[in-house]
Amino acid sequence: MQRYSGFGLAKHALSHHENWERQWRNPIPKKQYDVIIVGGGGHGLATAYYLAKEHGITNVAVVEKGWLGGGNTARNTTIVRSNYLWDESAALYEHAMKLWEGLSQDLNYNVMFSQRGVLNLGHTLQDMRDIQRRVNANRLNGIDGEVLDAKGVQDLVPIMDCSKNARYPVLGASWQPRAGVARHDAVAWGFARAADALGVDLLQNTEVTGFKIRDGRVYGVHTNRGDIEAKTVGCVAAGNSGVLAGMAGFRLPLESHPLQALVSEPLKPILDTVVMSNHVHGYISQTDKGDLVIGAGIDSYNGYGQRGSYPTVEHTLQAIVEMFPIFSRVRMNRQWGGIVDTCPDACPILSATPVKGLFFNCGWGTGGFKATQARVTSLPGPWPRTKPIPSRPRSPSTVSTPVLSSTSTVRPALLTKEAYPCFSSTAPTARSTARKRSFIPRARRILPARRTLRPALTSSGAITSSSVTTPEGSTTSCGCMPSAVASSSTSRATP
């Protein structure tokens, strides 16, 4: 791989930049690989890169039905933050944040990561209570964050309407200075270039049409370019994960929804941070080119179309104009949508499946881009048995749920209404689920080193910028199924 540098840029300028080497190869598929990754987005490319870099597994194929980075990776609004409430999510996204801070140097590719800060607005008293709770939890976990009042928000973003008579009055916000945005295309291209340099085959325009499964084990995939064999297959297909699971004969507790975004005509620099409002389901930032990038909430209906409904766009733009009257006459250039895969508990699934050798990385919802390089990868070899992990009860009543084992014999019908109450018509409501969160098995808690603010608060684990370590035999999943995986950023397998 030709290393990029300022001297190299000057050298190629003498030849009018006509002699740059191609960023990656376009190989013919081999008959057999050690590992196949289905999905050539940010997560799939990062999985292949870390398998090659950290674990020395280079006989890997990334299979993508379209072009690399053409799915959700190229359709998100590029926000990167780690100020999540739950300890498991905060630990995972903070680990990702630390990797983001050195990603350009690691890949030798400028991903344009700009730590311009993210504001999460509060419009009601309950919003502010939730913000204070989240910021306190973040600071206990060593994550930067502040609670701002309306004046503090106005000082940071003078063009925002923070008056008391506004339709959505701004009472305050949480502020994470280290958060920001990155160029989504550059992230995909950087991982693709680095993975290709380590020997990974990137197979574009190669659609998976089925799995080769015998005696409960995967032996490869069927594609429109012929069969490709491998005893380890990882599926990283975001909103199409449920479709792939159906091909393998089981169900996942996922729903796929359109998620929309749109950009405006270029403007002079006027907004130097990211502003988010969960209350009105709208967020906005300005790119280096000057476009305003506006994101909306997910559409309520299920679907696989990469576009959304106009009522969602209308509602989002109404909210943005109410908060930023200065943008009322700005023209929108284009609008698009992605397919997000959402879980009942809003936590990702990183897991083995009823089919031995088949793994899934999915369920990230709207938070996948910010954890692109901090998800986990699956290693070939003898699979450790996934042990039942006791969840910490949040209420006296809990629901017993079966746990999958990567080595035990289970029926594909395990992921059904009988196994997961989230499929049942009598499942807990969204409100009770948010309160109890006990009907889905939770992973063992992976906590960063805590600051000892009171004698009663002690550290229960550690997480650094280069590793995620868990006890022997535990998992690193935050979702609905257990995981038998290894950290993407360590040089050894962590069961």
Express each pLDDT in 307-317 by its tens digit: 878 888 888 99
What angle in degrees, to the nearest 10, is found between the helix axes of 125-140 and 87-100?
70
pLDDT at residue number 159: 95
Range 204-210 contact pairs with CB under 8 angstroms and sequence separation of 24 or more? 204/26, 204/40, 204/64, 204/66, 204/67, 204/68, 205/64, 205/65, 205/66, 205/67, 206/29, 206/63, 206/64, 206/65, 207/65, 208/38, 208/63, 208/65, 208/244, 208/247, 209/247, 210/247
With b for 16 or more beta-carbon neighbours within 10 A and e for fewer, the 313-338 pattern comes to: bebbbebbbebbeebeebeeeeeebb
| Contact status, residue 80 vs residue 370, Cβ threshold 8 Å | yes
- CA–CA dist 173, 164 (Å, integer): 15
* Residue position matching structure tokens 């190229």: 74
Neighbour-count burial of 403, counting CB atoms closer than 10 A to its CB (0-12 exposed, 13-18 middle, 19+ buried):
middle
Tens of pLDDT, residues 39-54? 999 999 999 999 999 9
Can you list the alpha helix ranges (DSSP code H) found in 24-163? 42-55, 87-100, 103-107, 125-140, 150-156
Block means of pLDDT (10 residues each) for the chain, length 495 residues? 88 89 92 96 94 94 94 90 91 92 94 95 95 95 94 95 90 96 94 95 95 95 96 94 94 91 94 92 92 90 84 90 94 90 88 94 90 59 35 35 32 33 35 34 34 32 34 36 33 33
Element (H, E) at 223: strand 217-223
pTM reported for the whole predicted model: 0.75
pLDDT at residue number 464: 32
Portion of the chain with pLDDT greater than 90, in percent: 57
Can you list the alpha helix ranges (DSSP code H) found in 253-380? 310-323
Percent of the chain as helix, strand, coil, to the nearest 5: 25, 20, 55
pLDDT at residue number 386: 32
pLDDT at residue number 396: 35
- CA–CA dist 49, 42 (Å, integer): 10
400 Cβ contact list (under 8 Å, min separation 6): none
pLDDT at residue number 375: 59
pLDDT at residue number 161: 93
